[in-house]
Amino acid sequence: MRRPSAAIGALRRAIGRCAGVPGSALRAGLSLVEDLRCRPAEPADLEFLATMLGEAAVWRPDKPTPTGEEALADPHLATYLAGWPRPGDHGLVADHDGPVGAAWYRTYTEADHAYGFVSAEIPEVAIAVVASRRGEGIGRRLLVGLIEDSIAQGHPALSLSVNDENPARLLYESVGFVTVERRETASTMVRHATSARRRG
């Protein structure tokens, strides 16, 4: 198995770093949003993360999105953020004159988990970008940054759940997530720390 540092190096060379360090943010697959900053999510970001959770839960543009408050009041959704930050939680917030997107992961147990659970060792990702800022490369930068951080923290893989019609699936596949389980209308995807990125 490749050492984590080697895997991070390979991923960085392939798809660049979220923080937008000059010279790295324009690597293949990443567009540069001028002055975009990705920073670690703090306890005070809970409200924004909850808003992003609502966006991720109802991703179809033609359907009303739950507010952050509504998302946290829904026990199925609240699982993704209850008690934030719990030990092992990690997230990134993309800032561009205020928060414009967030991605985070959390580990779960067999007894208490979210939709994309695979094992207690593999954290599950949630991600969303504010509707008016989608399609600018922000989501990709958040996800790449989160993958890098997960490797640096020694996690063997990341998982997530995605509706089969959600175009976010293309983003996930392009950074190395593969489907490991299909349910009625959604799939569980996993990206191993040693996975190669796939593009196009």
Ligand X SMILES: CC(C)(COP(=O)(O)OP(=O)(O)OC[C@H]1O[C@@H](n2cnc3c(N)ncnc32)[C@H](O)[C@@H]1OP(=O)(O)O)[C@@H](O)C(=O)NCCC(=O)NCCS
Residues in contact with ligand X by CB under 6 A are: 55-56, 59, 127-129, 134-140, 162, 166-168, 170-171
Tell me the residue nearest to ligand X as measured from the CB: 139
Closest by Cα among 85, 88, 91, 45 to 68: 45
* Nearest distance, CB of residue 105 and ligand X, angstroms: 13
> Toward ligand X, which CB reaches closer, 2 or 16?
16
Specify the DSSP class assigned to residue 86.
P
CB of 102 to ligand X, least distance (A): 9
Per-residue HEC secondary structure of 121-143 comes to: CCCEEEEEECHHHCCCCHHHHHH
Which C-beta is closer to ligand X: that of 4 or that of 166? 166
Whichever of 40 and 167 has its CB closer to ligand X, that residue is 167
- By C-beta, is 133 or 192 nearer to ligand X? 133
Instruction: Read off the DSSP letter of residue 98.
Output: S
User: CB 1 → ligand X: shortest distance, Å?
Assistant: 28
Smallest distance from ligand X to CB 47, Å? 17
**Residue 183 exposed, middle or buried by CB count within 10 Å (0-12, 13-18, 19+):** exposed
- What is the amino acid identity at position 34? E
CB of 24 to ligand X, least distance (A): 16
Residue 5 or 129: the one with the smaller Cβ distance to ligand X is 129
Q: How far, CA to CA in Å, does 188 sit from each of 70, 103, 163?
A: 24, 17, 9
